[in-house]
Amino acid sequence: MINVTKTFLPPIEEYHKQLQRAWDNQWLTNRGELVLELEEKLKNHLEVSNIIIANNGTVPLQIALKILGKGGEIITTPFSYVATTAAIVWESCKPVFVDIHPEFLTIDETKIEEAITSKTTAILATHVFGNPCNVNAIEIIAKKHNLKVIYDAAHCFGVRYYDKSIFDYGDVSTCSFHATKLFHTGEGGAIFTKNPDLHHKFFYSHNFGHNGALAFHGLGINGKISELQAAMGLSVLPYMNEIIFERKNIVDFYNSNLNLSQIQTLKIRKNTVWNYSYYPIICQTDEQLLRIEKKLNENEIFPRRYFYPSLNTIEYVKGEVMPISESIAERILCLPLFVGLSTPELEKIVSLINENL
């Protein structure tokens, strides 16, 4: 069986070595030695000024929306994982969808201003499959209308844009460290901001609002990560160059061997150092997609219709029609991409796709 992804697991003895430290300290949660060390190593690896590690990638979105969304309208993309929209609704804000660019698949910045109203408080955009939004244009719009910018950068570990970390853009960026991501802690995530005041608010908000043991800065929830998760992160991080290298080779194989005259692939923005996080193909029709998916499934190969459906169509939002997002969502398929995917397996995947275009 070949799934769309497979968790990278470091040698188990290396994980045991990190776990032993937690056992020796007898400290499993509340920002122990391993969490603090992982944060420092991630800051250095990513070249960012600060990071708060959290227990998943959704809680950082919720915290950012609680602080910056203020119950208002949030301009967002219909083409993302459901967590993006769900976090908006969960935090009592209203998602206002803007359609996407047909090649980059990120929010179409040229359509944002017409969606702004007096109730708009923020823009929440997704760097889709690690492909950056047009952050410069979005920043200009946000400043003009006094809006906050939140980036769902769940797929973006290691991505750089104009020679700096993608996490340095916007008022806040969030990332996922889920087991399916390039870098992972089993479950986990992170929140980034260059603003010291926001960093302070985000920090106490992910720790019940604590100001020391007995006082509180304000409202908070439990978004902390454990030492067990940090141990996994410390074990995975040394392999990031190897992980990126292998994934790049797989992407290069797909690019060289798929019949790209019959399908569309993701267009990466110029000045991007990409992380090879996903390999989506966009079929000409949904019938073509279903034919390819069926043939792959019959051969124990399981790509994923990612992202489907377009989020403006889900029951609890019922947004306006988004023709580009809805069309892409009907025709997009992410192919298997993970460390350890062999050349014979890749040849089989490519052959089955090319034969069924």
Instruction: Give pLDDT, residue 338.
Output: 98
Mean pLDDT of the chain: 97
Q: How confident is the model at residue 4 (pLDDT cuts 50, 70, 90)?
A: very high
With a pLDDT cut of 70, the percent of the chain lying above it is: 100
Residues 292-343 pLDDT 10s: 999 999 999 999 999 999 999 999 998 899 999 999 999 999 999 999 999 9
* CATH code of the region 3-238: 3.40.640.10
E strands within 167-300? 172-176, 189-192, 210-211, 215-216, 264-265, 272-273, 280-282
pLDDT for residue 127: 98
CA distance 30 to 16: 20
Q: Where does the chain hold its CATH 3.40.640.10 domain(s)?
A: 3-238
- At 202 the pLDDT is 97
Indicate whether 156 pLDDT > 90.
Answer: yes
Q: Where in the chain is the domain with CATH 3.90.1150.10?
A: 239-355
| Residue 199 Cα to chain centre, angstroms | 20
Q: For 111-139, how does the pLDDT look when each residue is reduced to its tens digit (9 = 90+)?
A: 999 999 999 999 999 999 999 999 999 99
Reported as a pLDDT band with limits 50, 70 and 90, residue 61 is very high
DSSP state, residue 318? -
What is d(CA 341, CA 334) in angstroms, rounded to the nearest whole number? 15
CATH 3.60.20.10 for domain 239-355: no
3-state secondary structure 111-141: HCHHHCCCCEEEEEEECHHHCCCCHHHHHHH
Tokens read off for 313: 């169509």
pTM to 2 decimal places: 0.97
Local structure of residue 69 (DSSP, 8 states): I
213 confidence band (pLDDT: 50, 70, 90): confident
Quote the pLDDT of residue 212.
85
Q: Give the per-residue pLDDT at 75.
A: 98
pLDDT of residue 43 exceeding 90, the answer is: yes
User: Cα separation of 38 and 32, whole Å?
Assistant: 10
**208 pLDDT more than 90:** yes
